[in-house]
Amino acid sequence: WLYDDGWIQLRNNNQLVLGIGQDSTEDKLVNEVFLCKKRMDDVNQRWTIASDGTIHLHNNPNATLTVSDPGRASEGSAYDGSSALVMPRKPCNGNANQLWIYDQESGFISAFATDSINIEITAANKAGICTYTVLGSKHVPQIGYSVQNDSSKTFCQACGIVSRGKFILQKLEECLDFSCAMGK
């Protein structure tokens, strides 16, 4: 794939570009990305590469190009055959599948352009594994949950989901530096 003047296009055919379907709307949380014939007036085919490494629809900075989760039944290479989606932007670690690198000389874009901690947290979240098992007691910025009457207890995304009936949890509004209390 090449990025050129707002389009993400096939390297061998600049008339075929990535876009979201005409029936896609801003109120849908997830939109499929398709290979489309380039249309100059279609805002759903225009992309912006942001300084934080995300690629989003030009008209909606929260609509972020995301490599989909291949699922747990996938064999072989973990992301072979995965599709691209447009999903809401995730603000911190756990968003490795939304980070891209753009080589200005060649025009090529590549996915998973982040550090190993972010990749590990993303993989743990996708697999439903506590981030403590991956990172130990290291405090890193991540999304998660806090116990309603005990803000000193913060759970990673996976533990928050499985602890819903045990505790009254509140989803964190922003990323916090923490180590999952459930894993300790």
pLDDT tens sequence across 81-129: 678 899 999 989 999 999 999 999 998 999 999 999 999 999 999 999 9
Q: Within this chain, do residues 161 and 76 fall inside the same structural domain, yes or no?
A: no
Q: Within this chain, do residues 9 and 94 fall inside the same structural domain, yes or no?
A: yes
Per-residue pLDDT at 78: 53
Q: What is the pTM of this model?
A: 0.84
pLDDT digits 0-9 by tens, 29-79: 678 899 999 999 999 999 999 999 999 999 999 999 999 876 555 455 555
Q: Within this chain, do residues 14 and 48 fall inside the same structural domain, yes or no?
A: yes
**Residue numbers of the domain that contains 58:** 2-114
Question: HEC states along 96-133?
Answer: HHHCEEECCCCCEEEECCCCHHHHHHHHHHHHCCCHHH
Q: Is 144 exposed, middle or buried (0-12, 13-18, 19+ CB in 10 A)?
A: buried
DSSP structure class, residue 89? P
Q: Within this chain, do residues 139 and 56 fall inside the same structural domain, yes or no?
A: no
Decide: 55 and 64 in contact? Cβ < 8 Å.
yes
The half-sphere exposure of 145 on its side-chain side, counting CA atoms within 13 A, is 20
Backbone dihedral angles phi then psi of residue 148, each to the nearest 5 degrees: -55, -45
